[in-house]
Amino acid sequence: MTVPIQRLVLDLLKPHEPGIVEFAETVAACDGVEGVNAVLVETDREVQNLKLTLEGDAIDARVVEETVEELGGTVHSIDEVVCGERVVEQSETPQDR
């Protein structure tokens, strides 16, 4: 049984080209993705570190990762996944303080 992914947050490295706008637009065109928020976390001479937040009704994480790789990027980690029929926000716990 496959449960739809509604939010996916990725930490990734990408080359300087394509730029952040083209990168976000290309990922946003993946099936099931309705919106993308791309934040430049760090840049150096050769690569940029991005935090990508994707939302949609049925995001295919495999297709998104393949698209990132086609653009020359590498997914470092999947930092958040929200699955199911509704979006559940994380709750603060004592460890978060």
Q: For residues 94 and 22, give the distance between their C-alpha atoms in angstroms, rounded to a whole number.
A: 40
Over its length of 97 residues, how does the chain's per-residue pLDDT go in tens digits?
688 999 999 999 999 999 999 999 999 999 999 999 999 999 999 999 999 999 999 999 999 999 999 999 999 999 999 998 777 777 787 887 7
Alpha helices in the chain (DSSP H): 20-28, 61-70
Q: Report if pTM > 0.85.
A: yes
List of domains in the chain: 5-86 (3.30.70.1340)
SS3 of residue 78 by DSSP: strand
